[in-house]
């Protein structure tokens, strides 16, 4: 499979991401992709909520107060309280921090793993590539959630365990995309030229190939982070994620709380809603990014919509900068 898509991708030229294009990108995001702009704002809110959780939350995430248990929303507790009398709003806010930490660290880890596997298999090829590809095939044939719950049951629950498991699971899967990008980049003249003047393999990989596959790496990052946040929530829901007092959005929907949800439906509604909004935001942002940066999805001579939009010309130079991977397997 990967071979087909790689052959389609071959011939595209990657260029490094420059600062100018980043500014351009945001201008075009807000001008052309309104939905994507909303997504970007949601991501920003998540980031800020996560960072300033300590200042924003009216109560601690584990302030147990049995007298006020299972209260509906009021001026004191804007989103009501759970079965232990903990303020739901505060738990949601601290949950944003947790999701952010897990999302970012696990995604970063997965990208590092993807890049190492992808860049080496793509560059060296041969037997090493063949064996690694079969290994990745085998790894990918198991459903993510099944692998994750087996892995958690082996190494035990906890935040760092969850991050490493998520990073490993999605890192190996994502290596395919990096490999595809590497395959098309390594055929470029500058790589051959660098090779000809005697650059070491490490230098070729780090200085010549890596900067040129930054675009797919960035897109992989944005698409992965939502998946990983959801996966963490699913694990916590099954009781195999980050252990209870921690305010994981998935964990709030599981365990003892489930029994009280008929009395206080807010307990079930709010965490899932928060999760949905965040995943929605990240996804539309990533989508808009891909739409804007993938030259094949942009208006051209054979364009379906012949109307050209303003602002298209001024930034036409970044068309060749990015393009998204297609047919990603996850």
Partner 1 sequence: MRNYLIKRLLALIPTIFFATLIAFVAIRVIPGDIIDQMISQQEFSDQEVTRQTIEKALGLDVPIHVQYFRWIKNIFLHGDLGRSLWKNTKVTDEVMARLPVTFELSIVALIFSLLLAIPIGVYSAIRQDTLGDNIGRTISILGIGVPNFWLGTIVIIYPSIWWGWGPQLELIPFWENPIGNLKLFIVPGIVLGFALSGITMRMMRAMMLEVLRQDYIRTAWAKGLKEKVVILRHAIKNALIPVITLIGLYIPVLIGGTVIVEQIFVLPGMGLLVFEAINDRDYPIITGLMLVIGVMVLMVNLVIDISYGFLDPKIRYK
Draw the binding track, 149-178, toward partner 1 (x: CB under 8 A; -: no contact). Answer: xxx-xx------------------------
Let me know: does 173 contact 140? Beta carbons within 8 Å: yes
The nearest distance, CB 3 to partner 1, in angstroms, is 10
Q: Of the two residues 191 and 284, which places its CB atom closer to partner 1 in the complex?
A: 284
Residue 54 phi/psi, 5° resolution? Answer: -60, -35
Cα angle 6, 9, 14 (rounded to 5 degrees) comes to: 120
Q: Does 280 bind partner 1 (CB under 8 A)?
A: yes
CA distance 241 to 231: 9
- Whose CA is closest to 87, among 258, 275, 252? 252
- HSE (side-chain half, CA atoms, 13 Å) at 142: 15
Q: Of the two residues 205 and 229, which places its CB atom closer to partner 1 in the complex?
A: 229
Residue 65 phi/psi, 5° resolution? Answer: -145, 85
Near partner 1 by CB under 8 A, which window of 80-88, 117-125, 263-271, 315-323? 263-271
Q: Does 253 bind partner 1 (CB under 8 A)?
A: yes
Near partner 1 by CB under 8 A, which window of 18-26, 188-196, 213-221, 264-272? 264-272
Near partner 1 by CB under 8 A, which window of 58-66, 70-78, 161-169, 262-270? 262-270
Q: Does 27 bind partner 1 (CB under 8 A)?
A: no
Q: Of the two residues 163 and 279, which places its CB atom closer to partner 1 in the complex?
A: 279
Q: How many helices (H) does the chain have, and how many strands (E)?
A: 13, 0
Q: Of the two residues 59 and 251, which places its CB atom closer to partner 1 in the complex?
A: 251
Q: Rule CB under 8 A: choose which of 53, 170, 271, 321 binds partner 1.
A: 271
- Whose CA is closest to 186, among 203, 208, 163? 208
Q: Rule CB under 8 A: choose which of 69, 135, 194, 199 binds partner 1.
A: 135
Question: What is the footprint of partner 1 within residues 192-251 (CB under 8 A)?
Answer: 226, 230, 233-234, 237-238, 250
CA distance 90 to 256: 19
Partnered with residue 87 across adjacent β-strands are 81
The 8 Å CB, 24+ separation contacts for 293-298 are: 293/25, 293/215, 293/219, 293/318, 293/321, 293/322, 293/323, 293/324, 294/322, 294/323, 294/324, 295/12, 295/319, 295/320, 295/322, 295/323, 296/323
Buried b (16+ CB within 10 A) or exposed e, 140-177: beeebeebbbebbeeeebebebbbbbbbbbbbbbbbbb
Near partner 1 by CB under 8 A, which window of 84-92, 131-139, 180-188, 311-319? 131-139
Q: Of the two residues 114 and 212, which places its CB atom closer to partner 1 in the complex?
A: 114
Please count the residues of this chain forming the interface with partner 1, following the rule CB under 8 A.
61
Near partner 1 by CB under 8 A, which window of 55-63, 160-168, 194-202, 274-282? 274-282
The nearest distance, CB 309 to partner 1, in angstroms, is 9
Q: Rule CB under 8 A: choose which of 41, 74, 112, 137 binds partner 1.
A: 137
Q: Where are the beta strands (DSSP E) in 193-316?
A: none
Q: Of the two residues 183 and 284, which places its CB atom closer to partner 1 in the complex?
A: 284
CA distance 93 to 283: 21
| Positions that interact with partner 1 (CB under 8 A) | 1, 32-35, 131, 134-135, 137-147, 149-151, 153-154, 226, 230, 233-234, 237-238, 250, 253-254, 258, 261-262, 265, 268-269, 271-272, 275-280, 283-284, 287, 296-297, 300, 302-305, 326-327, 329-330
């Amino acid at each position: 499979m990967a071979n087909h898509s790689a052959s389609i991708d071959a011939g595209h030229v990657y260029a490094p991401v420059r600062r100018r294009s980043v500014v351009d990108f945001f201008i075009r995001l807000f001008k052309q992709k309104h939905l994507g702009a909303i997504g970007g704002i949601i991501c920003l809110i998540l980031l800020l909520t996560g960072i300033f959780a300590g200042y924003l939350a009216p109560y601690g995430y584990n302030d147990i107060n049995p007298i006020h248990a299972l209260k509906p929303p009021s001026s004191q507790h804007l989103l009501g309280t759970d079965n232990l009398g903990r303020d739901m709003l505060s738990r949601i806010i601290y949950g944003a921090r947790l999701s952010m930490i897990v999302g970012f660290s696990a995604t970063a880890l997965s990208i590092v793993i993807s890049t190492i596997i992808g860049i080496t298999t793509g560059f060296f090829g041969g037997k090493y590539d063949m064996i690694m590809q079969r290994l990745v095939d085998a790894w990918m044939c198991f459903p993510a959630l099944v692998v994750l719950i087996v892995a958690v049951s082996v190494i035990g629950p906890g935040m760092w365990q969850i991050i490493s498991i998520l990073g490993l699971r999605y890192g190996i899967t994502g290596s395919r995309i990096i490999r595809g990008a590497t395959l098309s980049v390594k055929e470029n003249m500058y790589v051959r030229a660098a090779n000809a003047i005697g650059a070491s393999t490490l230098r070729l990989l780090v200085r010549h190939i890596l900067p040129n596959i930054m675009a797919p790496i960035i897109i992989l990052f944005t698409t992965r982070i939502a998946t990983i946040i959801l996966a963490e929530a699913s694990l916590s829901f099954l009781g195999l994620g980050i252990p209870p007092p921690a305010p994981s959005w998935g964990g709030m929907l599981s365990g003892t709380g489930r029994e009280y949800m008929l009395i206080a439906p807010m307990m079930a509604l709010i965490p899932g809603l928060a999760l949905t909004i965040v995943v929605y935001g990240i996804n539309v942002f990533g989508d808009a990014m891909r739409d804007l940066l993938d030259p094949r999805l942009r208006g051209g001579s054979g364009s379906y919509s012949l109307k050209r939009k303003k602002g298209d010309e001024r930034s036409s130079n970044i068309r060749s900068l990015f393009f998204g991977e297609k047919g990603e397997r996850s």
